[in-house]
């Protein structure tokens, strides 16, 4: 597993002990596939009851369908920082869905679920391949960035002040 960290050295240290890791890895996640590997820094800090994990400068890219022309393009994703506690033991009064645990048997923590959540949160919500994307023709479905079609526009031609001015000057 790319996002597993050995925390062996943490186990017999006092709370306050910390260590940094540079990580890179896997672009396959359960519900999505990234275009490039994920890179990040993880700062681990030992607490009484677990290990605090702070990730920084996560970077990757994801294939996104353009909302106008449906073509896939690559979008940068950045997660500046995020934090979770990985508990040594299941805490009693906590929301069960959101618990991250240290695997005491293997003496490892697995960041995969944390990264999956943070990347999902940071996926861009409105994506277009470029500001000038012309989209698809509503009639024939052609990608108007790639070719012109002969369909008549559905709406009446828009008012073009510059064009009118040119005609006047002729």
The residue ranges that bind Zn ion (CB under 5 A) are: 66, 68-69, 129, 133, 137, 139-140, 149, 151
Closer of 62 and 82 to Zn ion (Cβ): 62
Smallest separation, CB 126 to Zn ion (Å): 12
Nearest approach, Cβ of residue 77 and Zn ion (Å): 19
What is d(CA 107, CA 53) in angstroms, rounded to the nearest whole number? 15
Q: Which is nearer to Zn ion, 22 or 126 (CB)?
A: 126
Least gap, CB of 68 to Zn ion (angstroms): 5
**60 or 64: CB nearest Zn ion:** 64
Direct distance between the N- and C-terminal alpha carbons of the chain, in angstroms, rounded to an integer: 71
């Amino acid at each position: 597993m790319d996002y597993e960290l050995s925390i062996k050295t943490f186990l017999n240290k006092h709370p306050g002990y910390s260590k940094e890791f540079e990580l890179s890895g896997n672009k396959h996640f359960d519900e999505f596939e990234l275009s490039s590997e994920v890179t990040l820094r993880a700062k681990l800090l030992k607490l009484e009851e677990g290990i605090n994990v702070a990730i920084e400068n996560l970077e990757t890219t994801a294939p996104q369908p353009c909302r106008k022309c449906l073509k896939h393009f690559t979008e940068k994703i950045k997660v500046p920082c995020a934090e979770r506690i990985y508990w040594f033991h299941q805490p009693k009064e906590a929301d069960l869905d959101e618990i991250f645990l240290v695997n005491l048997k293997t003496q490892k923590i697995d960041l995969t679920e944390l990264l999956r959540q943070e990347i999902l949160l940071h996926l861009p919500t409105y994506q277009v391949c470029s500001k000038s994307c012309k989209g698809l023709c509503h009639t024939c479905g052609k990608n108007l960035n790639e070719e012109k079609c002969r369909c008549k526009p559905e709406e009446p031609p828009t008012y073009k002040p510059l064009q009118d001015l040119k005609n006047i000057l002729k």
